[in-house]
A and B are shown apart, each in its own frame.
Chain A
Amino acid sequence: DAGVIQSPRHEVTEMGQEVTLRCKPISGHNSLFWYRQTMMRGLELLIYFNNNVPIDDSGMPEDRFSAKMPNASFSTLKIQPSEPRDSAVYFCASSLNGNTQYFGPGTRLTVL
């Protein structure tokens, strides 16, 4: 299995631009999680899906952030408009029935 796939691996953008991060979970997994990691706040859960349905989005910082999971093999995290404080590493993870989570390599986002 290829594991969790994230793209892009690095993204540099200017403040105000829209940013879309992508995630392909491990085939057969039915739970998907988006995390953000910064030096100040560590690893934070933003949102998670179960069977493509968002279950808990209480970690999403504000309305500028949105996440979708149109099917079992694809999810996006969108930031519009982006701000410098959104600079972080964003991780996607997947699991089967909420058990052991397997993480992708992350997307390093820099907003100038």
Chain B
Amino acid sequence: DAKTTQPPSMDCAEGRAANLPCNHSTISGNEYVYWYRQIHSQGPQYIIHGLKNNETNEMASLIITEDRKSSTLILPHATLRDTAVYYCIVMNTGNQFYFGTGTSLTVIP
């Protein structure tokens, strides 16, 4: 499975949009992009996933570039409870997840 590159940390002001980037330049055509987050001491929480098209759910939006080599997770109105480590993962259906080091997002009051 393709590996991902994420910035180690980011800050975001409360109420503003948080845009978390991820590079996955070696992604292959049938690999999905998944996003999870982990709030301190809790299990990873599923956020969203996509293949080619942009996706939106009640938690976030996922923007995937046309060449699929990068993506951005958008939290539209960040709250203090969104402070967490965010993991970008690419995976074939049925294969294992590889969790990298993720991005530690801090939402600042």
Contact = CB atoms under 8 A, between A and B. Distances in A.
Given A42-B99, A42-B100, A43-B99, A104 B43 contact: yes
Interface residues of A, number: 23
For chain B, which range describes its interface: under 10, 10 to 19, 20 to 34, or 35 or more residues?
A: 10 to 19
Contacts of A14: none
Interface string A45-66: 1001010000010000000000
The dominant DSSP class at the B interface is loop
A99 to B, nearest CB: 6
The dominant DSSP class at the A interface is strand
A102 B44 CA distance: 8
B34 A100 contact: yes
Contacts of B98: 45
Interface string A85-108: 000010101000111111111101
Contacts of B97: 33, 45, 101
Given A97-B93, A97-B94, A102 B99 contact: no
A56 B96 contact: yes
A33 B46 CA distance: 15
A100 B47 CA distance: 10
B43 A106 contact: yes
Given A102-B46, A105-B43, A42 B93 contact: no
B94 A106 contact: no
15 contacts: A4-B43, A35-B99, A42-B101, A43-B44, A45-B97, A50-B94, A91-B43, A91-B44, A93-B44, A98-B94, A98-B95, A100-B49, A102-B46, A105-B43, A108-B41
Interface of A: 4, 33, 35, 42-43, 45, 48, 50, 56, 89, 91, 93, 97-106, 108
Interface of B: 34, 41-46, 49, 93-101
